[in-house]
Amino acid sequence: MTQPKEKYTIAGIGEVLWDIYRDHRHVGGAPANFAIHAAQLGDESVLVSRVGDDGMGRELIQALRQWRLPVETIQIDEKKPTGTVMVSLNVKGVPSFRCSQDVAFDYLQFTPALETIAKNCDAVLFGTLAQRSSATRKTIWHFLQSAKKAVRVFDVNSRASAEALREIVPPSLEAATVLKVNRHELDMMQVLLRREGEVRRKFIDFLLKKYHLKLVAITYGEGGCEIFDGQTACKIDGLSVKEIDTTGAGDAFAAGLIHKLLRGAPLREIAEYANLLGAFLCTQSGATPIFTTQDLENFRESL
């Protein structure tokens, strides 16, 4: 077995945007959240996205420097604005979103620099939002084709209907080696793949086999998670926390999962660490709180 490396190179590709709350805003976009957390866990992290040539774009780039993410991989669009999402939270900190249309991240270009990143990364995470445009969908597809030796995580990250995602989900499953879905996305996928009514375990086995996946992770919000690798399943209960804002819990979960998966950890350790990160995120405001691994340790001890 190859020795684990000290640092891995991890990429998030797709949207970066401002999550706009009533009286403040945070950096957001699932691939951005993921890349930021991967950096905070100590890996070399890269975010591949595109912002507008505007104040919001410049502030986003400035914000990314806080996490020491390289900013050369953020393309600048001269015509389209930086993406934004209006976020409103209910009393349990559960968000609903309204996303701006036809923005810079819809025009992500595949470049030789991106190809080099793709060839050298150990893991990449992508979703569905940025694939709404054909230009960015093509770029993500090219990136994944060049990232053949990487762990390729498809995190659906959408409340859209099966109909709206029909063109995006099957090719994304083909390109992925790991699938991360929440319970709503799993239901949607079952409709989309015309397997409604099938018991969950059978559906997961179908996904693992048909798309040659190494791992499927299902998240159940406060109910924890379940991870399947084709041989075994590992279910972990949710941690009891005081939720402030659950936005981005799944992205932190994915960062924890990849961190441990790349290091060859057993399934249970992967699930426990991912679950810890997801729960920690819920106790913080926004999807990209600044934290250290010591903060995570303190949080674990406080439970």
Q: Which residues bind ligand ADP (CB under 6 A)?
A: 182, 219-222, 224-225, 238-239, 241, 243, 246, 249-250, 253, 275, 278-279, 282
Q: Measured between alpha carbons, how far is 243 from 94 in angstroms, rounded to an integer?
A: 9
Give, in degrees to the nearest 5, the angle at Cα 177 between 173 and 183: 60
Cβ 34 to ligand ADP shortest distance, Å: 11
Select the binding partner of residue 275 from Mg ion, ligand ADP, none (C-beta < 5 to 8 A, by kind): ligand ADP
**H-run or E-run covering 144:** helix 134-146
Report the interhelical angle of 183-192 vs 200-210 (nearest 10°). 70
Residues near Mg ion (CB under 5 A) are 157, 250
Q: Measured between alpha carbons, how far is 190 from 84 in angstroms, rounded to an integer?
A: 30
Select the binding partner of residue 279 from Mg ion, ligand ADP, none (C-beta < 5 to 8 A, by kind): ligand ADP
In terms of Cα–Cα distance, which of 14, 38, 9 is closest to 172?
14
- Residue 65 CA, distance from chain mean position: 20
Q: Give the residue at shortest CB distance from ligand ADP.
A: 250
Q: Smaller CB distance to ligand ADP: residue 78 or 301?
A: 301
Residue with tokens 């996305």: 185
Select the binding partner of residue 179 from ligand ADP, Mg ion, none (C-beta < 5 to 8 A, by kind): none
Cβ 287 to ligand ADP shortest distance, Å: 9
Select the binding partner of residue 253 from Mg ion, ligand ADP, none (C-beta < 5 to 8 A, by kind): ligand ADP
From residue 238, alpha-carbon distances to 220, 226, 273, 282, 285 in Å are 8, 10, 12, 12, 19
Cβ 91 to ligand ADP shortest distance, Å: 12
Q: Smaller CB distance to Mg ion: residue 221 or 250?
A: 250
Report the interhelical angle of 134-146 vs 112-120 (nearest 10°). 40
Select the binding partner of residue 158 from ligand ADP, Mg ion, none (C-beta < 5 to 8 A, by kind): none
Select the binding partner of residue 117 from ligand ADP, Mg ion, none (C-beta < 5 to 8 A, by kind): none
Cβ 298 to ligand ADP shortest distance, Å: 17
Q: Smaller CB distance to Mg ion: residue 70 or 95?
A: 95
Q: Smaller CB distance to ligand ADP: residue 255 or 279?
A: 279
Q: Measured between alpha carbons, how far is 152 from 145 in angstroms, rounded to an integer?
A: 10
Q: Smaller CB distance to ligand ADP: residue 39 or 252?
A: 252
Q: Measured between alpha carbons, how far is 148 from 245 in angstroms, rounded to an integer?
A: 35
Q: Smaller CB distance to Mg ion: residue 110 or 154?
A: 154
Both structure tokens of 244: 């402030």
